[in-house]
Amino acid sequence: MPGQTDVVRSKQILVSRWGKHAIRQKFNLEVNVWMIKSDNNPPRSTQIYFREGCHEHRMMKYHYGNHLVRLVTNSRTNGFINGRPLEKVAIQIQTCGSAPGDGPHRPEYVYRVFHNGHPHGGTKARGFGVPGREIDPLFFQILLQKHLKWTCRELSPFTSVTNELGKAVRICAFYYARRMKGIRIPKIKTSGPGWKHWDMKVWCVGDLVERLGLTPHEYFSNEWLIENEIPEQAVVQCTSWEHIIRMAHMEGARAEYLLAKKLYERIKERLARIGKQKRIREMELERIIHGERTRKRARGFSSMSNKRN
């Protein structure tokens, strides 16, 4: 159990809740506030549309006055087709607390996966310090949904971690299959020196998905998010992918290491098969090119012979 000095209190924060997906505006004329895509608000690329004088507008100014930097009012020159409707002006979400019953559960230790392609050595979010990627209550849900979507390549202010080593091992295998270098699993203590808890909030993904009315997914279980960065002092241990595979061959290896070995052997076999197919294709291409060169030479010799005759 963490000591008294390691206790982290949960914090309550108000954010807006939006529709999960963009919908047609013309079929939902009763909606007064929308989140729309826009090139007029770089670098965030989204903008808020208000119907003039609506109650929601006044409530949002009351809760988030400093965050309403750009507004769009209803007119013929700045209309839109699709957008996310505002569902709730303000709902309460909670950061993770380490004391029992104090907000969503905050694990004492979590795991992440680093590789050499990660910016900032993997301890900072990809969107750390990038304008337009800052977290604020109006855009919190949008940034969260984009982060949880693996195919979205926009820079995120969040960093994903898990308290399940087996899940971290599967992510290692995912990176290994993509030929990433320097794959390793750091073990991170979620309290103690280096933590600035207001700037480095810890969120439970399952709790956020439920509160924001998003679609739950099995993969979200045992996943937490850390805002902005992980303090380097919090990394208490770091284990390389190669070391995990070596440990898996030892007698009495833990189940997570045996899983790593199984995934490693499958992926290695697959990569070898792909490499063999690639070499075959390269050889076929070389034969085609070589054959074309031979035919060109033959045509050249033939034309020279005709000229001489």
Query: Which pLDDT tens digit goes with each residue over 189-237?
Result: 999 999 998 889 999 999 999 999 999 988 888 999 999 999 999 999 9
Q: What are the residues whose beta carbons fall under 8 Å from the beta carbon of 55, sequence distance 6 or more?
A: 32
SS3 content of the chain, % helix, strand, coil (to 5): 40, 20, 40
Per-residue tokens: 74: 């209803």
Of 210-214, 236-240, 249-253, least confident by mean pLDDT is 249-253
Say if CB 146 and CB 154 are below 8 A apart.
yes
Average pLDDT, the chain: 84
Q: How confident is the model at residue 40 (pLDDT cuts 50, 70, 90)?
A: low
Task: Find the angle CA(135)-CA(140)-CA(144) to the nearest 5 degrees.
Answer: 105
φ, ψ for residue 30, nearest 5 deg: -75, -15
Helix (DSSP H) and strand (DSSP E) numbers for the chain: 6, 12
The pLDDT, as a whole number, for residue 304 is 53
The pLDDT, as a whole number, for residue 267 is 86
The pLDDT, as a whole number, for residue 292 is 52
Say if CB 186 and CB 114 are below 8 A apart.
yes
| DSSP structural state of residue 124 | B
Distances (CA, A) of 225 to 120, 190, 221: 17, 11, 12
The pTM of this model reads 0.81
Instruction: Please give the Cα distance from 181 to 114 (Å, whole number).
Output: 9
Q: Tell me what percent of the residues of the chain surpass a pLDDT of 70.
A: 84
The pLDDT, as a whole number, for residue 131 is 79
